[in-house]
Amino acid sequence: MSDINCLKVGKPAPNFSATAVYDQEFLNVRLSEYLGKYVILFFYPLDFTFVCPTEITAFSDQYERFQHVNTEILGISVDSEYSHLAWIQTERASGGLGDLKYPLVSDLKKEISAAYNVLNDEGVALRGLFIVDKEGIVQHSVINNLAFGRSVDETYRTLQAIQYVQSHPDEVCPADWQPGDKTLVPDPIKSKEYFTAI
């Protein structure tokens, strides 16, 4: 954990090494192993709660959509890997997760949550979501309070905008941009082409 640093958008994502549960087995996950891919890194408060399974299963149900654009997903909470495993082994109809298509990471020592500035005063992670690019740089950060969940569709839209501007460095994406929509050229004169067309 010595290479964890303070989180800032536009700076390298704090690296970590931790135990995760995937395919009902324990494995070690290092964020640095995902270099070359985009990563959706999302924190949630606790296992066996109420809003959390709706988010976790929604990301799992749309996992192939993210894989199609070179992106992996990691879920993290301050629970142990044993709690993660028990929750995965519980069927969705009974408040569990069932099998997931991505790892759930254990942050029992709360070091990862602290490095990403999502740890609240009660010692659980707020609903932080970070998009890390294939160079390991944090490109997007959003943090919700405990009582309301995040949008998988908006996460995917934001990811696509990040990928677009990284492959088209002379363009920027306006509000609510979707693939195929017009972009702007960040220039006082050339940007007028966008505004006169809307």
For the annotated catalytic residues, the residue numbers are 52
Distances in Å between the Cα of 180 and the Cα atoms of 114, 161, 164, 171 are 38, 11, 10, 13
Distance of alpha carbon 120 from alpha carbon 106, whole angstroms: 17
Which residues, including other chains, have CB under 8 Å from residue 190's CB and lie 6 or more apart? none
What length is written for the chain?
198
Q: Are 136 and 33 in contact (CB under 8 A)?
A: no
